[in-house]
Amino acid sequence: MNINLSTGLLIGATVANGIAAGVALDLAIKQLPARQRIGPAPYRDYSCAADLGNGLAWYPVLAASTALTTTGAVIAGLRDRPGTTRTVALLASAASTLTHLVATARAAPTLLSLRRSDLDNATIATTLDRFARIHAVRTAAILTTLAATTWALATL
């Protein structure tokens, strides 16, 4: 089977978004709800150790790889002059990737603000609640991108 550039990029975008979706769902389903059980300050300590530790390298690499491969797949795919269905899938991929990046641009500073050591429990809880709402949007955008890239692949 001979895979052209646009197909290869679309496969890469689907894989990258699949990984990002898994990471986002893990945070949304397992990690963030734990803050209700352990309390805001202990969760903040965990988040600072994990998300603001190794996560400071991992999350930007993951976001950049999904954004770059998806953008590349959209551009290359549209240059192939696809039919209407594939065009819609590619444009949906682009729009949801943009939504993901905008949400991430809001989520990152929100989470980074937890590094301050002078925060009380109420402020930490409010900040974590805001982060969870932004993360819900980001998760929906990532899942939409994954669905759209999978849809685009299915039209090949």
CB 111 within 8 A of CB 52: yes
Rg value, the chain, Cα: 18
pLDDT tens for each residue of 87-125 = 999 999 999 999 999 999 999 999 999 999 899 999 999
- pTM for the model stands at 0.94
pLDDT tens for each residue of 24-59 = 999 999 999 999 999 999 999 999 999 988 999 999
Spatial separation of the C-alpha atoms in residues 153 and 136, rounded to whole Å: 26
Residue 1 pLDDT greater than 80, yes or no: no
